[in-house]
Structure 1
Amino acid sequence: MGAVSPFGTGVESLMRGLAAGESGVRPMAALREISGLVPTIAGTVPDCDEKSIPRKFRRSMSPMSIYATLAAREAVAMAGLDEATLTDAGTGLCLGSTVGSVQAMQAFFARYLDGLSIEGTKATEFFKIMNHSCATNLAQFFGITGRVVAPSAACSTGCQSIGLAAEAVAIGRQEVMLCGGADELHPLTVGTFDVIEAASTGYNEVAEQTPRPFDRDRDGIVCAEGAGLLVLESLDHALARNATILAEISGFASTSDPSNLASPSDEAIARCMSRALDDAGVSPAEVDYVNAHATGTRLGDAAESAAIASLLGAGPKVSSLKGHLGHTMAASGGIETIATISMINIGLVFPTRNLLDIATDCVGLSHVLETEKWPITTALKNSFALGGINTSIVLRRYDD
């Protein structure tokens, strides 16, 4: 596993921040410069060692491709994959982002619209703007020759990438898959949620107190950035090379809710979770922990709470990590899956930060309010996106 998050570079930084109950949300000066934009806080990635990536690769990378490369390099090192395995046709890549680099788009159109000119545009700019920018930059960096897939499903992208990669391995199309999601922060990302009245706006002066998943005083999403990458492989392949197995992906579902573009449905969410459990051959009673999507919006948290309560009851522990990290968009599924796998292995569940007063429309769950010792054999990871794209993954402790 490999991560770049608002807590810094590396899985160790991510888990240290979560264990300490820290907030990665902070003021962002660039947001104050945008006329009409109310939110001024975000979960930004601290300075990272981008120059450790050779310039011949880095020159076609925007920040999100840099985050993805640093996270993937950590995951590959942790997995002990050698160059021969990475470049073999049996190794593929499934990595997505919400869109191409908005920073690169802004830079291009600033020149283009000022006199309708493309003079001064660098040849590498397009490779930052195209929607599969992260995937193709990573494939070039590692020399990947197997299948390369670049899903784009907004906030479901990371989880969807992991599930699709797992399916590619399960049906024998690839032996190894590098997978996950990445995103970079731009004021237009924040502006999107502000325009649809889904952004947190009431805590600009106390950034660490938002977002507030499941809380009575929640007021919306706090946008963030980062990358979360995992190495998946078939069991036979892992055993043959004596790899350390961190967890097993035993179920996956990605479903569509055509009822509304923006308002989530608890029935549709429950259906997605149920299909993932069916795929895993796991009963609702066997789920020990749910890593909720819960972003801190009124409608989203209420719908997910109702869905979990109806399908799973109050049995499993439930928490969202967005109170710590903000919403890292396409990266969230990857980063939060990594955290869930880590919780499985250390026997702890981390709480929902900023959850002080459980909202009446989020009751009926076993909310985690402080770090608890809790043995996890089976965990359910949720990710949901605008447009009704719902995704759930079932993770299980590996026992040989």
Structure 2
Amino acid sequence: MRRVVITGVGLNSPLGNSYEELYENLKNEVSGIHYVPEWEDIKHLGTKVAGTVKDVDLKSIPRKYRRSMGRVAQLTAISTTQAIADANLTQEMLSSRRCGLSFGSTMGANETMFEYVPEVKQNMSFRGQNSMAFLKMMSHTVAANIAQMFGIKGRNIPTCSACTSSSQGIGSGYESIKYAMSDIMICGGGEEHHYLSAGVFDVMGAASTKYPNEAHLSSKPFDESRDGLVVSEGSGAVVLEELEHALARGAKIYGEVIGYATSCDGSHITTPSEEGMKQVMQTSLEDAKLKPSDIEYINAHATATARGDIAESHATYNLFGGSTPVSSTKGHMGHLLGGCGVVESIICLIALNKSFLPKTMNFKTLDKECAKINVLAQNKSQNLNIVMSNNFAFGGINTSLIFKKYD
């Protein structure tokens, strides 16, 4: 089995558009969540808060590539550009059949769909429609567009599985290298800001509605006063590389991926399964050949929904007990949906390399129905060697990734 390391990172998020900016804003306890005044015009939409990406020049993407991209693909293309530059990959490396990619999102471009479908339905005609519209809306728009933009000729694995899209992307890339199908895999995912995504959770009673005038208080993972999640946007990309390949070219190494698992509950389309969550974490530990006590920090999925946080706390407690530090960084920036897994994986790299454990923003009192896990209410400095990142999605899709400091 070949070792897999991370040699490049890129991101844009409500909490910053670079590795260092993300670290500084986590350290300084900045909130990336804000009030969205234009959502006041959406009938029956209760939630009015979100986390959005700022200060990103989408027009820096050459037009010949940008014209087939909606915002979700554009955001991810910017992140991928950063990660490729950070890893110092040449075009020869990118175009090798030994270099592939694995990216996902919950959906394609929501705004394009809202413009395209009603017009076609109303006129019962495709005359005058933009020929690029479907390429923006299709579920694998991120993976397809990035492959074209960077001339990727190897494996292309679209991982469109809602909130596990980008963590499955990393896991698929890890397995591709581990089992010698690739030497380099560029992995990640993204999501774009749109009221459709917020409305889906709002209708289900799972979106935060209590704090439009104090948006920074809206996301409260594990806290007894939480009232739902905050839907946000963002994207990220990581360059995974076979260890000897990375060493041979003198690449810097952020960390090593040493464990991964994905599973399906096979029981309920929306209700989280404590047993399914526990199973995927256990399988990831088995892949890494570790014991639960080897994990020194867990970045939880914890979206601040009523049932999800409870199920995840019990699954975590039953496997790890009550001493392992746990935090959810969705309190800082909301839920990036298809982009959350990769951004939270980058936060795990920050934890390893900066000896820094981020707090759970807005957490004060553990919900009495949650298991008594060690939720961090304050930032903490601690030398770390091995950390875990977990994500869970509708359809009972689960992922667990384990990262190790490289030395």
Q: TM-score, normalised by structure 2?
A: 0.96
3-state SS, counterpart of residue 174 of structure 1: coil
Residue in structure 2 matched with residue 234 of structure 1 by the alignment: 242
Residue in structure 1 matched with residue 342 of structure 2 by the alignment: 334
3-state SS, counterpart of residue 281 of structure 2: helix
- Aligned amino acid, residue 197 of structure 1: G
Larger mean CA deviation between 171-180 and 361-370 belongs to 361-370
Contact 2:257-2:404 at 8 Å conserved across structures: yes
- In 2, Cα distance between equivalents of 1:126 and 1:62: 10
3-state SS, counterpart of residue 264 of structure 1: coil
Q: Quote the sequence identity (%).
A: 38
Aligned-pair CA distance for 1:322: 0.1
Contact 1:175-1:234 at 8 Å conserved across structures: yes
- Aligned amino acid, residue 246 of structure 1: Y
Cα deviations by residue, 1:228-274 (Å, 9 ceiling, x for unpaired): 11000111111111111111111111011122211112121111100
Residue in structure 1 matched with residue 5 of structure 2 by the alignment: none
Residue in structure 1 matched with residue 200 of structure 2 by the alignment: 192
3-state SS, counterpart of residue 2 of structure 1: strand
3-state SS, counterpart of residue 333 of structure 1: helix
Aligned counterparts, 1:85-96, within 5 A: 85-96=93-104
- In 2, Cα distance between equivalents of 1:225 and 1:289: 25
Cα deviations by residue, 1:59-100 (Å, 9 ceiling, x for unpaired): 111111111111111111111111110111110000001011
Aligned-pair CA distance for 1:30: 3.0
Matched, 1:130 2:138: yes
Matched, 1:177 2:185: yes
Residue in structure 2 matched with residue 349 of structure 1 by the alignment: 357
- Aligned amino acid, residue 337 of structure 2: M
Identify the match of residue 61 of structure 2 among 50, 53, 57: 53
Residue in structure 2 matched with residue 288 of structure 1 by the alignment: 296
- In 1, Cα distance between equivalents of 2:59 and 2:24: 24
- In 2, Cα distance between equivalents of 1:335 and 1:79: 17
Residue in structure 2 matched with residue 368 of structure 1 by the alignment: 376
Identify the match of residue 142 of structure 1 among 150, 157, 178: 150
Larger mean CA deviation between 86-95 and 22-31 belongs to 22-31
Residue in structure 1 matched with residue 224 of structure 2 by the alignment: 216
- Aligned amino acid, residue 17 of structure 1: N
- Aligned amino acid, residue 211 of structure 1: S
Residue in structure 1 matched with residue 124 of structure 2 by the alignment: 116
Residue in structure 1 matched with residue 76 of structure 2 by the alignment: 68
Aligned-pair CA distance for 1:363: 4.3
Identify the match of residue 259 of structure 2 among 236, 246, 251: 251
- In 2, Cα distance between equivalents of 1:6 and 1:397: 26
3-state SS, counterpart of residue 322 of structure 2: coil
Contact 1:7-1:46 at 8 Å conserved across structures: no
- Aligned amino acid, residue 326 of structure 2: V
- In 1, Cα distance between equivalents of 2:302 and 2:197: 18
| RMSD of Structure 2 on Structure 1 (CA) | 1.1
Matched, 1:319 2:327: yes
Contact 1:288-1:315 at 8 Å conserved across structures: no
Q: TM-score, normalised by structure 1?
A: 0.98
Matched, 1:309 2:309: no
- Aligned amino acid, residue 68 of structure 1: T
Larger mean CA deviation between 273-282 and 236-245 belongs to 236-245
- In 2, Cα distance between equivalents of 1:101 and 1:324: 25
Residue in structure 1 matched with residue 3 of structure 2 by the alignment: none
- In 2, Cα distance between equivalents of 1:186 and 1:63: 10
Contact 1:30-1:187 at 8 Å conserved across structures: no
Aligned-pair CA distance for 1:282: 0.7
Structure 1 unaligned runs (5+)? none
- Aligned amino acid, residue 346 of structure 2: I
- In 1, Cα distance between equivalents of 2:24 and 2:127: 46
- Aligned amino acid, residue 181 of structure 1: G
- In 1, Cα distance between equivalents of 2:16 and 2:73: 16
- In 2, Cα distance between equivalents of 1:203 and 1:73: 36
- Aligned amino acid, residue 72 of structure 1: T
- In 1, Cα distance between equivalents of 2:371 and 2:387: 20
Residue in structure 1 matched with residue 6 of structure 2 by the alignment: none
Residue in structure 2 matched with residue 35 of structure 1 by the alignment: 43
Contact 2:15-2:332 at 8 Å conserved across structures: no
3-state SS, counterpart of residue 369 of structure 2: helix
Residue in structure 1 matched with residue 406 of structure 2 by the alignment: 398
Aligned-pair CA distance for 1:159: 0.7
- In 2, Cα distance between equivalents of 1:116 and 1:313: 59
Cα deviations by residue, 1:107-157 (Å, 9 ceiling, x for unpaired): 102321332232321111111011110111111111110111111111011
Matched, 1:156 2:164: yes
Runs (4+) off by over 3 Å: none
3-state SS, counterpart of residue 261 of structure 2: strand
- In 2, Cα distance between equivalents of 1:295 and 1:323: 8
Larger mean CA deviation between 318-327 and 25-34 belongs to 25-34
3-state SS, counterpart of residue 135 of structure 2: helix
Contact 2:16-2:25 at 8 Å conserved across structures: no
3-state SS, counterpart of residue 360 of structure 1: coil
- In 1, Cα distance between equivalents of 2:213 and 2:395: 32
- Aligned amino acid, residue 114 of structure 2: Q
